């Protein structure tokens, strides 16, 4: 397999690598010499309690979330020690495409959201973090946020899952299945035995189209909202945003993350009882949903929020739907930043 230069500091900005050692996965396999890629911003205080953890979404790296970090923003590095961990399987951490040996590529073991969160916990311990002022993340980042709140209640003061659920819904699983199938439909995928991502470009493009259909609101298409964001046509929006997003990525990495997403479920800590799992959370939880989200709907988010005592629900109305979080619309970005400011300002 040829090297994929997409997964590099040149493309995503500098990052650190934490050595996880021989990391035993929930599924039973051991990732020997596993590595967790991450970035930090700001300084940890002496008490080790001014940290914020900001895990990332499906197909994303720290680069996608980094714009939310900056002076004057909610995630202000002059005030907080902010850690953005990349996903295992995400391409910069140990992942199918960069992990050589018997677990290489299509032989990479199945991961869980819990694996990510345990790896992050090891990292934070090594950095001296004692308490998290907030865990927040979007989509699969929200899954990790919920996992943190359930698994390490003592460490998490505030949890703000954004456009994501504690347990993947059945309909959302179908969405994951459909986009994985679109990718795997490409004969060049060869059950993961391709030589380079570019060979699988038809599958990656098809996957992009499924995301296009579900990723933003219907109104985004029906009212030609793409015009406001530098796209010259409907076709240009499909190619310029969605195909462009997935084309450089490694199919095995994407499928690895997708499987994690589909299985995401904090209730496994409570024998499948989601009510008990969510009731166990001690953090102040602010559930942020996107009103026009089509695969992790505001209704899905609300159902879970109602099971968390003392929690609040915040709904953001943008026509960008699930992908509001990309902040392509500066107004959306401001709204999300302001939301995070309010959440951080709450006494807990």
**Contact set with its own copies (CB under 8 A):** 169-171, 173-175, 177-178, 181-182, 185-187, 202-203, 206, 209-210, 212-213, 218, 220-222, 224, 234, 238, 294, 297, 299-300
Which C-beta is closer to its own copies: that of 64 or that of 182?
182
Tell me the backbone φ, ψ of residue 216, rounded to 5 degrees.
-120, 175
User: 175, 165 in Cβ contact below 8 A?
Assistant: no
Which C-beta is closer to its own copies: that of 169 or that of 267?
169
Which C-beta is closer to its own copies: that of 238 or that of 249?
238
Which C-beta is closer to its own copies: that of 94 or that of 139?
139
Which C-beta is closer to its own copies: that of 24 or that of 178?
178
| Distance (Å, whole) CA 22 – CA 18 | 12
| Distance (Å, whole) CA 247 – CA 200 | 9
Instruction: Compute the least distance from the CB of residue 297 to its own copies, in Å.
Output: 6
Please report how the helices 251-263 and 201-215 are oriented relative to each other, as an axis angle in degrees rounded to 10: 40
Residue 116 among the catalytic residues? no
Instruction: Compute the least distance from the CB of residue 210 to its own copies, in Å.
Output: 6
Q: Which one of the listed residues 93, 112, 139, 217 is annotated catalytic? A: 139
Sheet holding 81-85, edge to edge: 16-24, 30-41, 81-85, 51-53, 132-138, 158-162, 284-290, 312-316
Which C-beta is closer to its own copies: that of 99 or that of 226?
226
Instruction: Compute the least distance from the CB of residue 303 to its own copies, in Å.
Output: 8
Q: Using CB atoms within 10 A of its CB, is residue 131 exposed (0-12), middle (13-18) or buried (19+)?
A: middle
Instruction: Compute the least distance from the CB of residue 180 to its own copies, in Å.
Output: 10
Instruction: Compute the least distance from the CB of residue 245 to its own copies, in Å.
Output: 16
User: 288, 311 in Cβ contact below 8 A?
Assistant: no
Q: Using CB atoms within 10 A of its CB, is residue 231 exposed (0-12), middle (13-18) or buried (19+)?
A: middle
| Distance (Å, whole) CA 332 – CA 313 | 17
User: 98, 34 in Cβ contact below 8 A?
Assistant: no
Other CB atoms within 10 A of residue 232 CB? 10
Instruction: Compute the least distance from the CB of residue 178 to its own copies, in Å.
Output: 5
Q: Which one of the listed residues 318, 322, 332, 337 is annotated catalytic? A: 322
DSSP state of 301: H
Q: Which one of the listed residues 186, 293, 300, 332 is annotated catalytic? A: 293
Residue 198 among the catalytic residues? no
Residue 293 among the catalytic residues? yes
Residue owning tokens 């995928």: 189
Q: Which residues are catalytic?
A: 139, 293, 322
């Amino acid at each position: 397999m040829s090297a994929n230069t997409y997964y590099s500091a040149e493309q995503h900005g500098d990052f650190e690598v934490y050595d996880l050692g021989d990391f035993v996965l929930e599924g039973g396999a051991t990732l020997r010499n596993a590595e967790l890629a991450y970035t930090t911003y700001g300084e940890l205080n002496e008490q080790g309690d001014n940290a914020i953890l900001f895990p990332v979404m499906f197909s994303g790296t720290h680069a996608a979330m980094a714009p939310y970090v900056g002076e004057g923003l909610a995630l202000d590095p002059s005030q907080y020690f902010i850690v953005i961990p990349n996903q295992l399987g995400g391409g910069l951490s140990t992942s199918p495409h960069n992990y050589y040996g018997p677990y290489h590529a299509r032989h990479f073991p199945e991961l869980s959201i819990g694996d990510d969160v345990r790896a992050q916990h090891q990292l934070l311990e090594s950095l001296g973090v004692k308490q998290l002022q907030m865990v927040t993340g979007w989509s699969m980042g929200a899954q990790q946020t919920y996992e943190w709140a359930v698994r390490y209640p003592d460490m998490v003061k505030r949890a703000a899952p954004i456009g994501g659920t504690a347990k993947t819904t059945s309909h959302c699983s179908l969405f994951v299945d459909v986009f994985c199938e679109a990718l795997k439909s490409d004969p060049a995928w060869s059950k993961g035995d391709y030589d380079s991502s570019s060979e699988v470009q038809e599958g990656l493009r098809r996957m992009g189209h499924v995301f296009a259909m579900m990723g933003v609101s219907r109104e985004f298409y029906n009212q030609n909202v793409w015009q406001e964001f530098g796209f010259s046509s409907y076709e240009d929006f499909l190619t310029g945003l969605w195909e462009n997003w997935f084309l450089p990525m490694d199919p095995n990495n994407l499928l690895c993350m997708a499987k994690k997403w589909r299985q995401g479920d904090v209730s496994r800590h409570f024998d499948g009882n989601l009510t008990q799992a969510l009731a166990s959370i001690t953090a102040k939880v602010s559930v942020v949903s996107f009103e026009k989200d089509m695969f992790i709907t505001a209704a899905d988010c609300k159902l879970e929020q109602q099971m968390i005592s003392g929690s609040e629900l915040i709904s953001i109305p943008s026509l960008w739907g699930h992908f509001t979080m990309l902040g392509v619309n500066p107004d959306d970005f401001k709204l999300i930043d302001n939301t995070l400011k309010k959440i951080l300002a709450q006494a807990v």
